[in-house]
Amino acid sequence: MSDEVFYLTTPIYYPNDDPHLGHAYTTVAADFICRFRRLQGRKVHFLTGTDEHGLKLARAAEAKGMAPKQWVDHILPKWTDVWTMLNISYDDFIRTTEERHETSVQRFVQALHDRGEIYLGTYEGLYCVACEAYYTPEELVEGKCPIHGTVPERLEEENYFFRLSNYADRLLDMWEREPWRVQPGSRRKEVMGKVRQGLQDLSMSRVSFEWGIPVPWDPKHVIYVWIDALQNYITAIGYGRNEGTFKRIWPADVHLIGKDILWFHSVIWPAMLMALDLPQPKTVFAHGFLQVGGEKMSKTRLTGIAPQDLISTFGADGYRYYFMREINFGNDGEFSWESMIARYNSDLANDFGNLVSRVLSMVTRYLDGVVPRPPEDHELEDSDEALMAVQGEAFIEMEKAIDDLRLDEALKACWRFVRKANAYVEEVAPWALAKDETKGRRLKIVLYMLTDALRLMAAMVAPIMPETAEKLWRRLGLTGSTTEINYGDDLFWRMTKEGTGVETGTPLFPRLEEDSPAA
């Protein structure tokens, strides 16, 4: 078991279609957290990828007249392009059709079989292809899938079963003792309620189609897509192939997922790990759903919006900031064009962008663009101390909020500092100091404080707005890159060097009109 590496995963997405805002939501959140941890000086392993087997995928390919592998190879760049556009800093990308994955999955299920955890039986049930899951009649809503609203298909086949029913008590015990393992707590309670009613064994193979990983001891069966997919979290880091790497990185610190797939991650996956005595992931965190007009956003509901349509108007950073700030992480949240414009204009164009322009143009106008000597302790006034205090508190709150995965709260805390810096400008009024010859030193001090505040701000927003942070860093004439910042060493005041040349540049976030063109 390892505390050395901070290991975070996203779900691996089905590439049966293009990525939409919902997929990008999880991935942006994951990137925000990972970038923050890196700047805290942690070693990070950030994994994402694609879930390329299963009936849904096979049917999507068939509809396009392609073989499944040909289809996923064809569509994959659409996914990776969106991640590039959004500056997603993953360390590894796993595709379940890769040999490294298939080899490890076969070893894993073989080990389950060897331990008597798998037996042959017949299954008859109602199957929702979009979920790739069986439902009991009670789980259906008016005979339809509770998530997709479609009528499930009746499937009957000979399947191998995993003895999931043996694990209900162990899972419940674990959550009683270690409740943080499934979050938020409200969702853990729901899962616990369901597990208390008892667990049924899980059918873990299929014979009716071929697109999957063969069951090693009976290759006319393919492994059920969820049993295959969940293992990506360990196959990607060497399970069954490279035990050294596996032990160094596992367990995951956070499996970040949407609430729709919590059952698989909180019940089935932990039980599979228990069956092989492998360590449990530290936290499974299920966030809520993005909705448009109250509907879950997905292609099947035709409300799918492509992330690139919004990135072209708001930029990658505007996009990242909006979704992380606007929606309470953990709950469902509404997306609208109007709220995105409003948030962009108020927080980014006004609070942040204007501050940067004002400060840099004052340094240019009053000090020829050169950073003056930092103030000595005895030169600091109450207003300066208050600015420093708010920054310190804001950062502490950001760290706490990131620890608890309260991502929107982390940004709110950061903006307390941004707003305080704006208030400071009004309070110290550099333009008035500039008119008074006796206030020359004070003018230099306040502009030093503001320039230094921008450096700290660049560091603090770097995890959520990496492009903006980097631009600002360069305008401030600082050396190196914002990805090299270390919060433990670099978040002190008065570290900007005297004599550094700054550059005003164009607005970082030009204001958008209410009716700016959508896609």
Catalytic residues: 20, 23, 128, 131, 145, 148, 296, 299
Q: Which is nearer to ligand MSP, 232 or 451 (CB)?
A: 232
CA distances in angstroms from 44 to 91, 115, 317, 470, 482, listed in the order given: 8, 33, 21, 20, 16
Phi and psi torsions of 456, nearest 5°:
-65, -40
* Single residue of 6, 26, 444, 449 touching ligand MSP by CB under 6 A: 26
Binding mask of the shown chain, residues 43 to 62, with x at each position contacting ligand MSP by CB under 6 A: --------x-----------
Do residues 216 and 110 make contact, with C-beta atoms less than 8 angstroms apart? Answer: yes
> Of 249-308, which residues contact ligand MSP (CB under 6 A)?
257-258, 260-261, 289-290, 296-298
Closest CB 289 distance from ligand MSP, rounded Å: 4
> Of 189-248, which residues contact ligand MSP (CB under 6 A)?
229-230, 232
Closest CB 404 distance from ligand MSP, rounded Å: 19
Residues facing 12 on adjacent strands: 49
In terms of Cα–Cα distance, which of 257, 220, 244, 235 is closest to 95? 235
Q: Which residue has the tokens 């950062």?
A: 395
Closest CB 295 distance from ligand MSP, rounded Å: 9
What stretch of H or E contains 326? helix 307-326
Task: Please work out the total of residues on this chain that contact ligand MSP, with binding judged by CB under 6 A.
Answer: 21
184 binds ligand MSP (CB under 6 A): no
Please calculate the CA angle 153-154-157 and round it to the nearest 5 degrees.
Answer: 125
Q: Which is nearer to ligand MSP, 37 or 53 (CB)?
A: 53
Q: Which is nearer to ligand MSP, 220 or 299 (CB)?
A: 299
Residue 519 CB: number of other CB atoms within 10 A? 10
101 binds ligand MSP (CB under 6 A): no
* Single residue of 6, 22, 275, 409 touching ligand MSP by CB under 6 A: 22
In terms of Cα–Cα distance, which of 167, 378, 363 is closest to 268? 167
Could you give the maximum distance between any two Cα atoms of the chain, in Å? 91
Closest CB 122 distance from ligand MSP, rounded Å: 26
d(CA 461, CA 474): 15
Closest CB 353 distance from ligand MSP, rounded Å: 28
Do residues 518 and 340 make contact, with C-beta atoms less than 8 angstroms apart? Answer: no
d(CA 231, CA 96): 9
Residues facing 6 on adjacent strands: 44
Q: Which is nearer to ligand MSP, 15 or 318 (CB)?
A: 15
Closest CB 193 distance from ligand MSP, rounded Å: 21
Closest CB 466 distance from ligand MSP, rounded Å: 22
- State the pairing for strand pair 43-50/92-95: parallel
Closest CB 414 distance from ligand MSP, rounded Å: 23
Q: Which residue has the tokens 């009528």?
A: 151
Residue 462 CB: number of other CB atoms within 10 A? 24
The tokens of 32 are what? 């925000």
Say which DSSP state 301 is in: G
Closest CB 28 distance from ligand MSP, rounded Å: 10
25 binds ligand MSP (CB under 6 A): yes
Q: Which is nearer to ligand MSP, 165 or 300 (CB)?
A: 300
Given the rule CB under 6 A, which of 7-15, 143-151, 274-282, 348-356 is the region that contacts ligand MSP? 7-15
Closest CB 277 distance from ligand MSP, rounded Å: 21
Do residues 499 and 374 make contact, with C-beta atoms less than 8 angstroms apart? Answer: no
Give the CA count within 13 Å in the CB-facing half-sphere of 249. 23
Q: Which is nearer to ligand MSP, 280 or 391 (CB)?
A: 280
Do residues 430 and 443 make contact, with C-beta atoms less than 8 angstroms apart? Answer: yes
Binding mask of the shown chain, residues 457 to 496, with x at each position contacting ligand MSP by CB under 6 A: ----------------------------------------
The tokens of 386 are what? 């208050």
12 binds ligand MSP (CB under 6 A): yes
Residue 89's SS3 state is coil
Q: Which is nearer to ligand MSP, 265 or 475 (CB)?
A: 265
410: amino acid identity, one letter: A
Q: Which is nearer to ligand MSP, 251 or 477 (CB)?
A: 251
* Single residue of 6, 7, 23, 420 touching ligand MSP by CB under 6 A: 23
Alpha helices, DSSP H only, in 40-67? 55-63
Q: Which is nearer to ligand MSP, 34 or 363 (CB)?
A: 34
430 binds ligand MSP (CB under 6 A): no
d(CA 343, CA 369): 31
d(CA 314, CA 181): 36
Given the rule CB under 6 A, which of 9-17, 81-89, 345-353, 373-381 is the region that contacts ligand MSP? 9-17
Given the rule CB under 6 A, which of 19-27, 36-44, 181-189, 352-360 is the region that contacts ligand MSP? 19-27
* Single residue of 6, 11, 102, 236 touching ligand MSP by CB under 6 A: 11
Residue 306's SS3 state is coil
Binding residues for ligand MSP, per CB under 6 A?
11-14, 22-23, 25-26, 51, 229-230, 232, 257-258, 260-261, 289-290, 296-298
